[in-house]
Amino acid sequence: MSSIEEVLKDLPKEIQLPLYKAFTIVKEESKELIAREEIKKVWEAISDLTEAQKSTEQRINELAEAQRKTEEKVSELTVALNKLTGVVADLQEEVGGISHTVGHILEDKAIVKLPKIFKEEYGIAVEGKLKRG
């Protein structure tokens, strides 16, 4: 026996059936109300998830834009690095030329002074002119 029937059994017979029907209707409507509340909660959760998805998509778009800008900067840095590499190569060539010139100047001065140094320091006499070679 259900709890409704237990409550109704002590009441007069003529009101038991109508009250039983009324309680049954109330019970069914309560179930529907609970179901509607649950559906409402589900829709609220779906709405929250939709908002979270929009936020996630926005963040993904922001990250994609940041990546695009980073790639652009990397490209600019690559161009600058290539230019710098060219400048360094030019400087190496110029320094090499300067080094070569300084070496020739030192050799020219040494050729003139070495015969005297050989004679005075080592007793070696140089015959003729020294040549670079």
Distances (CA, A) of 37 to 20, 27, 49: 25, 15, 18
Print pLDDT tens along the chain (133 aa): 568 788 888 888 888 888 888 888 888 888 888 888 898 998 999 999 999 999 999 999 999 999 999 999 999 999 999 999 999 999 999 999 999 899 889 888 888 888 889 889 999 998 888 887 7
In angstroms, rounded to a whole number, what is the distance separating the alpha carbons of residues 118 and 124?
Answer: 5
